[in-house]
Structure 1
Amino acid sequence: MSISQSTTRVWRGRFPYNEIISLLDVNRPFNLAESTSQDLTFGELLDLAGGLESIRDLKLGYGTSTGAAALREAIADACKTPAEQIITTQGTALGLFLLAFETCRPGDEAVLVTPCFPPSRDILSGAGVSIREIKLSFDNGYRLELDRIAASLSAKTKLVSLASPQNPSGVQASRSEIEKLLVLVKQRSPDAIIFVDETYREATYGDDLAVDSLAQLDPRIVTGASVSKALGAPGLRTGWLTVADADLRSRLTVAKMNTVISGSVLDETLATALLRNREAVLTSRRRLLAGALAELAAWRQGERKRIEWVRPNAGALCCLRLRSDVFDDAAVSRFWSLLPHHDLQLASGAWFGESSRIFRLGFGYLPPERLGPALSALSSAMNAAVA
């Protein structure tokens, strides 16, 4: 029995089921559901890193629980933070799980900014944390609503979790907003950690420079990121946390030891090579993302009477909404049922805590020559839904 079939019964897992898991099993010709830029190939990485001839002599033993020193140094260069403050993880999601599991105890609360990447919410549920959700608004451009966050903070709050840029919207919080949030947390939740997922931080457009990491803004801020999104290497399963507090860092290292022991030495070696050459990878990908975003913006302008969007600040993703004056609830349902007939794949807003009228569209995953046909297929699906 498949996982999707099992959801027809009562779900008994500690982690909530979310249909986003289908993205690992389905890849339609017009895949606009993925949130990454195009996948990097192993050959491209070998060419960038000068062949990596030394990898033939790599001993496939255990790594260290903090992560390979060379990898942490490469991450430190990207984040402008000391290497000793970095712990590597198998993706950002594991980092958040370890952080939530270690910082929150029964009766503690986490404030979670949504919509969000489903594991960012479901990890907290699986770890037994009580969640106070702050749902941001499409109509407000998914900007942080600091007053609402402040009202949810208390002495019970041990973790505040958000992403910048956000997944699914690609909207980025300003440094000023984070500084204001930091003041609120210090006042109302003196024992809380602020986790900022910066996975898409370097996935900017054209000549736009990435904002600096928040890693060094304040010791109570823990950032997480990975090589998965901006660099196009999710298969390496390599991410990290930046943790300024030495005591918390030690506890997280022990937590990692007791869950996964260490990262793969092969993955960490390849991720090190990738990060050392990240500017070459990012430069070409930023040009592709800029072109794709411009094409998407032009398509959306032509479809403005049927669809709304929130323009992203960074990342290969954004949120669009089917207009309620064109698509009633029945038409929205038909829209989703028709996508496979048009070889289309989208990420439903319901996966992220939004309405199914909203969807995440990934504009960086398809090759440039296939984005236009995919958007045309999307227009055809909308035509059929309201016919």
Structure 2
Amino acid sequence: MPHVPSRFPHNDIMTLTSSAVRFDLAESLGPDLRLGQIFADGFGAELEDLALAYGPTDGSAALRQLIAARHGVDADDVITTVGAMQALFLIAFILGEPGAGVVIGRPVFPNARSVLDAVRMDVVELPMRFDDGYRLDVDRLRSLLTPRTRLVSLASPQNPSGVALTGQEVRGVLACMQEICPDAFLLVDETYREAVHGDGDARPSLVGLDRRIVSCASFSKCHGAPGIRTGWVITQDRALRAQLEFAKFNTTISNSVVDEAIALRIMQTLDPMMRDRRRHLAAGLARTAAFVEAHADMIEWVRPDAGALCCVRLRRDVFDDAAVVRFHGELAARETRVGPGSWFGDEPRVFRLGFGLLTLPDLDEALGRIAQALRQAA
């Protein structure tokens, strides 16, 4: 039989797209946007007149302009991609020359790590731990950099914790890179940046701090539209931007013009839509905070800065290894799911809890089922 190399490892996070449960707290996004919500004011007629031709490789000019405006950059700095995953893959492919190194924060969305392994980059993990509030340790990062480091890959807010990088931390990272690997890029996945809780302002994008910073994101999380498979990558480095455009042309040629038309409509109506979504996230976060406080004898958490997700940990003095396994089994028996820490390279007692997808009554029911599972497993 022919040998098929294992370029992409298996991870059970794939069950999020293949195996449904009644109460899914493993998901990291807000409520799904419905087409009917954006078909008002003649949008259906616009789609009827849309020619199903190739789109521009760098993406719809109008869409890139709106994305750029929300990041404080020029439209020419933006390339649309097939979700943020295409951006992550193309960056890895372009920078992944033989012997090239990359430092990536852990825990991490597993696909962001997998693309680096797939192109055979020399991957070194930067641990960010629950006990440290998932904060970045700049001195620890410095010890991992080498002159062959071509990329530092981080997320802000982080998946799975929802913890955001500070400007001081980013400037510290850039100073270390300037000292040790001045030709490297800093990739920051900002997919959850605008998913703030309530009426507060979103943190400014980090991409404007330095020309070495590359930002990527998508419509999947904050905007509730993972089904349109549209994202973007932003870089102010002309050479990297050109390579990204060539790479996109040689893989997908362009995005779907239908998807980009829907994405444009979302961006044109984004502020009122995000107000409602942010209030929903704030209500979900408040319920989650109350739940953790009520069960503080069994669990603890790191409060997220933004996003529809957070990390919760089973207390070591209550749950041994066997009890952790029992907990997940009890959840499964109750048609409820959380994201195990193993998905993200975190410790087994940690799990990702998504509080944004479900309606508030369903979230209350799901949290109640977690409470039952905790009592049964402890």
**TM-score normalised by the chain length of structure 1:** 0.95
Q: Quick one: which amino acid aligns to residue 29 of structure 2?
A: T
What SS is found at the alignment partner of 1:216? helix
What SS is found at the alignment partner of 1:131? strand
* Cα distance between partner residues in 2 of 1:366 and 1:42: 18
What SS is found at the alignment partner of 2:319? coil
Residues 221-246 of structure 1, C-alpha deviation per residue, up to 9 Å, x if partnerless? 00001111011001111000001011
**What's the CA shift for 1:104?**
2.2
Change (3 A) 1:74 1:50: farther
Match of 2:26 among 33, 38, 56: 33
2:12 is aligned to 19
Residues 311-347 of structure 1, C-alpha deviation per residue, up to 9 Å, x if partnerless? 0000000000001111111111111122221110111
* Cα distance between partner residues in 1 of 2:347 and 2:57: 40
What SS is found at the alignment partner of 2:216? strand
**What's the CA shift for 1:50?**
4.9
2:95 is aligned to 103
Match of 1:173 among 165, 169, 172: 165
Change (3 A) 1:330 1:310: same
* Cα distance between partner residues in 1 of 2:20 and 2:163: 26
2:107 is aligned to 115
1:160 aligns with 2:139: no
Match of 1:308 among 300, 310, 321: 300
Structure 1 unaligned segments of length 5 or more: list them.
1-9
* Cα distance between partner residues in 2 of 1:54 and 1:285: 26
What SS is found at the alignment partner of 2:39? helix
**What's the CA shift for 1:385?**
1.1
1:141 aligns with 2:137: no
Q: Quick one: which amino acid aligns to residue 104 of structure 2?
A: L
* Residues 86, 240 of structure 1: 8 Å contact kept: yes
* Cα distance between partner residues in 1 of 2:364 and 2:77: 44
1:322 is aligned to 314
* Cα distance between partner residues in 2 of 1:230 and 1:54: 25
Residues 85-113 of structure 1, C-alpha deviation per residue, up to 9 Å, x if partnerless? 10111111110110111012010100101
Match of 2:343 among 339, 351, 358: 351
1:42 is aligned to 35
Equivalent pairs: percent with the same residue?
Answer: 45
2:224 is aligned to 232
What SS is found at the alignment partner of 2:301? strand
2:46 is aligned to 54
Q: Quick one: which amino acid aligns to residue 371 of structure 1?
A: L
**What's the CA shift for 1:27?**
2.1
* Cα distance between partner residues in 2 of 1:53 and 1:217: 41
What SS is found at the alignment partner of 2:159? coil
Q: Quick one: which amino acid aligns to residue 93 of structure 2?
A: F
Q: CA RMSD in A?
A: 1.2
What SS is found at the alignment partner of 1:215? helix
What SS is found at the alignment partner of 1:293? helix
Report how many aligned residue pairs link the two structures: 376
* Cα distance between partner residues in 2 of 1:20 and 1:127: 21
Q: Quick one: which amino acid aligns to residue 70 of structure 2?
A: A
Q: Quick one: which amino acid aligns to residue 234 of structure 2?
A: T
What SS is found at the alignment partner of 2:215? strand
* Residues 27, 345 of structure 1: 8 Å contact kept: no
* Cα distance between partner residues in 2 of 1:230 and 1:11: 37
Change (3 A) 1:11 1:346: farther
Match of 1:363 among 345, 355, 359: 355
Q: Trace 1:218-297 onto structure 2 (pairs within 5 A).
A: 218-297=210-289
* Residues 214, 223 of structure 1: 8 Å contact kept: yes
1:201 aligns with 2:193: yes
* Cα distance between partner residues in 2 of 1:89 and 1:139: 36
What SS is found at the alignment partner of 2:31? coil
What SS is found at the alignment partner of 1:128? coil
Structure 2 unaligned segments of length 5 or more: list them.
none
The answer to which of 260-269 and 174-183 deviates more is 174-183
The answer to which of 164-173 and 120-129 deviates more is 120-129
Residues 23-71 of structure 1, C-alpha deviation per residue, up to 9 Å, x if partnerless? 0012211110110000000001213x65342111101111111111111
Match of 1:299 among 281, 284, 291: 291
**What's the CA shift for 1:121?**
0.5
Q: Quick one: which amino acid aligns to residue 66 of structure 2?
A: A
* Cα distance between partner residues in 1 of 2:290 and 2:225: 29
1:331 is aligned to 323
Residues 351-383 of structure 1, C-alpha deviation per residue, up to 9 Å, x if partnerless? 000122110000000011111111000011111
Change (3 A) 1:31 1:77: same
Change (3 A) 1:11 1:258: closer
* Cα distance between partner residues in 1 of 2:175 and 2:279: 37
